[in-house]
Structure 1
């Protein structure tokens, strides 16, 4: 009698062990499928309204609206500066720069800071138009660049600036920017 009781107990424990093993395999399969879906699925973050509508970011690519907003803010950030805010200006620009472009851009910014520190020269930019190229992650801004010495505007010229970007994950980072030189007209008087 005792033998049959022990045998029944052993069979019950064996069934429980087998059920636990099957359950563990099923759960492992579900976890593997969830990981596969999370890796291959486009991620999105919905940002609160910045201007006119909610903004959505996706790992599938940069939206035109997001690149336009980043370009607008970056153009103002990089082109509006005064001697009293140079350290903050440089720090703020470097925060949006891609790690792979940090060295070159920081060197360019330091050159500007060294030239402008201690002077009374300020500048501000008034955006007039913008071109957005989401395929090449490039944006171009045209506007009036005003230079002020003391309290007098000494120049007010129409200039075009180009911004180059990289998009990785859900992060848009600046990799380069500069003034676009106007093309010279061919033939005739210029």
Structure 2
């Protein structure tokens, strides 16, 4: 009788062990699937709607509408400046800079600040067109650059500027900008 009771007890423990082993196997398998999905899936952030379009930034790449909005804001910040706000202007642009390009960009900006500090020269940029290349992470802004001395406009010229970007994870950072020669900007028109 004791042997039968011990045998039944042992069989109950074996069934319980087998159920726990099967449950552990299922949980392990789903954990591996979840981990695999998390590692291979692109990271994505949905951005606050500031336009009628749905914007998102993904580790797989940058959407054209997002690159256009970032370019627009950067171009307006970079190309609209006055002597009174030069320090803030430079600090704002350097916050967007890629760490690898920070030194070079700062040197270019310091040169502009030194030229403009203490003068009455301001400039304003009116955007006419923005072209973006999300794959190449470049964008071109064309518009009218107006130069003022005091309140008087002394120059108003059509100009084009190219912005170069880098993406690290979900961060889009400025690596450089340049004014395009007038013949290159005329080809785009």
Under a length normalisation based on structure 1, what TM-score does the superposition of the two structures give?
0.83
Hey, what does 1:88 align to over in structure 2?
Answer: 88
Hey, what does 1:175 align to over in structure 2?
Answer: 175
The structural deviation recorded for 1:167 is 2.4
Hey, what does 2:39 align to over in structure 1?
Answer: 39
Report which stretch shifted further, 59-68 or 7-16. 7-16
CA distance, structure 1, for counterparts of residue 160 and residue 9 of structure 2: 84
The structural deviation recorded for 1:21 is 3.9
> Any stretches of 5+ residues in structure 2 without a counterpart?
185-189
Hey, what does 1:49 align to over in structure 2?
Answer: 49
The structural deviation recorded for 1:113 is 1.8
Hey, what does 1:150 align to over in structure 2?
Answer: 150
Count of residues paired in the alignment: 184
CA distance, structure 2, for counterparts of residue 31 and residue 86 of structure 1: 54
The structural deviation recorded for 1:96 is 1.6
- Aligned CA RMSD, in angstroms, stands at 2.3
The structural deviation recorded for 1:173 is 1.5
> Any stretches of 5+ residues in structure 1 without a counterpart?
185-190
**Where does structure 1 differ by over 6 angstroms across 4 or more consecutive aligned residues?**
1-4
CA distance 1:20–1:153, change in 2 (3 Å): same
CA distance, structure 2, for counterparts of residue 17 and residue 89 of structure 1: 68
CA distance, structure 1, for counterparts of residue 6 and residue 134 of structure 2: 73
CA distance 1:110–1:11, change in 2 (3 Å): farther
CA distance 1:13–1:88, change in 2 (3 Å): farther
Report which stretch shifted further, 157-166 or 23-32. 23-32
CA distance, structure 1, for counterparts of residue 16 and residue 156 of structure 2: 83
Partner-residue secondary structure (3-state), 2:61: coil
